[in-house]
Structure 1
Amino acid sequence: MTDTEDEDSPQTKPRRTHFRRSDGPKLTPDAASRQGAVTKLAFEMLGKDGAIAYLNLDSESLGGRPLDLATASVDGLKRVESDLAARRAGVGA
């Protein structure tokens, strides 16, 4: 930097923000579809806060996190949908 340049001069290039890509596994299109479907259903049935809590906390009756189970397989999605329906009916809530 010369004496006539300062840190705030327009000639100084702004810092670029770099986003790191996740090295974690990517969801398949089918898994992403199931994740979207169960999330939408839970939000409709339980509201935002209730859905977030329900989907992300381990369920003893389901044997895991509902979001993980529904995303993993069609059978898991059906089990979570049935659990949500039972909660709506007041069974096992």
Structure 2
Amino acid sequence: MTDTIQPAPEVDTPAETQTETKPRRSGFQPRRMMKKMDPVAAERQGRITMLAWKKLGNENAIAFLNAHDEALGGRPLDLAVASEEGLGAVERAIESRAAA
């Protein structure tokens, strides 16, 4: 029995497979274009998030922090991140909800 050597199949090289179309852009901004959060604001965000999770539980904390609150006059997470006064108001609101 005689073995015959078959030639290797042709493979496209990367230069042959490139197209002239531009890559699609995603709807997201590149990291370099995104504004970084102030470290103090990031610390307030972490504090209020942890307090809410401890006092209200995971699902209730997420719902409370992300929904508009009429008594506070805004979204609690945004208010807490914006200023120390907002943080204090949201902390008091969490404590009163946890006590109820």
Question: What range is the shorter-chain TM-score in?
Answer: 0.7 to 0.9
Post-superposition Cα deviations, 1:15-73, rounded to whole Å, max 9, x if no partner, equal xxxx8227343211100000000000001111111111000000000000000000000
Scaled by the length of structure 2, the TM-score of the pair is: 0.70
Corresponding position: 1:4 with 2:7:
no
Distance in 2, Cα, partners of 1:23 & 1:58: 28
Indicate how the Cα distance of structure 1 residues 58 and 24 shifts in structure 2: closer, same or farther if over 3 A, else same.
farther
| RMSD over aligned Cα atoms | 2.5
Structure 2 residue runs without a partner (length 5+): 1-8, 18-27
The residue aligned with 1:89 is: 99
Q: 1:22 to 1:53 in 2, by over 3 A?
A: farther
Displacement of 1:6 in angstroms is 4.9
Segments of 4+ moved more than 4 angstroms: none
Q: Which amino acid aligns with 2:97?
A: R
Identity of counterpart residues, as a percentage?
Answer: 50
Q: Does 1:31 align with 2:49?
A: no
State the distance in 1 between where 2:73 and 2:34 align.
23
Query: Normalising by the residue count of structure 1, what TM-score does the alignment of the two structures yield?
Result: 0.74
For 1:49, give the aligned amino acid: E
How many residues are paired up? 79
Structure-2 separation of matches of 1:50 and 1:33: 21
